Amino acid sequence: MFLPKEVKFFDLFDKQAENIVRAAAFYKKLVDNGDFTPENVREMHELEHYGDELTHTTINTLNETFITPFDREDILALANRLDDIVDGIYLISNRFHLYKIQKPTEFSRKLAATIESTTKALQKALASLRSNKNMKETLHQCVEINRLENEGDVLRDEAISSLFENEKDPLMVIKHKELYELAELVTDSCEHVANLVESILVKNN
């Protein structure tokens, strides 16, 4: 259905999605094991850097290609919004390290699981974009991402509420409140991509 040059964009989005899923899985492992060592944060930084490279490749490809599978500005927005996700996962990993959190809370573990599920749904949504025949599947994954973002919202609210209820050390409140909010922002940035994907579908069908 698409020309070879157009296919390149889908290949790049798949690579970006794969990198995001890898970062989310690695993040979940670090939260579960309380393992935000300098080495592991550096490894996460490499994933973030690889995401940057993929974004630049997409933008350069865009500037060299006349025919694109959908609007140029949508491809640009998609590349940039996908980049936000790994940026967010790296940012929160680095904060866990800076704040010397040895034992992430139960809420942080739940939020990490929600982030991982959201990135997997996002990967499916992007993979299905290659063909109009998959439209139902794409929309289904977008709905799932919205549901998971909502789950992240509720989790963050419960976590913050519990924090002010139970944690008496103000410095710990500052640290964990920020970590909960940064975690929810990751699911938020996945939802931004899902909204973009939906609007691309609407325009092109």
Cβ nearer to its own copies, comparing 32 with 42: 42
Q: How far is the CB of 147 from its own copies (least distance, A)?
A: 14
Does residue 28 contact residue 116 with C-beta atoms inside 8 Å? yes
Cβ nearer to its own copies, comparing 131 with 199: 199
Cβ nearer to its own copies, comparing 124 with 177: 177
Residues near its own copies (CB under 8 A): 59-60, 63, 94, 98-100, 157, 160-161, 164, 170-171, 173-175, 177, 199, 202-203
Q: How far is the CB of 78 from its own copies (least distance, A)?
A: 15
Cβ nearer to its own copies, comparing 8 with 192: 192
Q: How far is the CB of 157 from its own copies (least distance, A)?
A: 6
Rounded to an integer, what distance in angstroms lies between the CA atom of residue 124 and that of residue 127? Answer: 5
User: What's the DSSP call for residue 133?
Assistant: G
Rounded to an integer, what distance in angstroms lies between the CA atom of residue 196 and that of residue 96? Answer: 30
Token output for 73: 């500005």
Shortest CA distance to 19 belongs to which of 41, 43, 1?
A: 43
Phi-psi region at 23: left, alpha or beta (left = phi > 0; alpha = psi -120 to 50): alpha
Q: How far is the CB of 168 from its own copies (least distance, A)?
A: 8
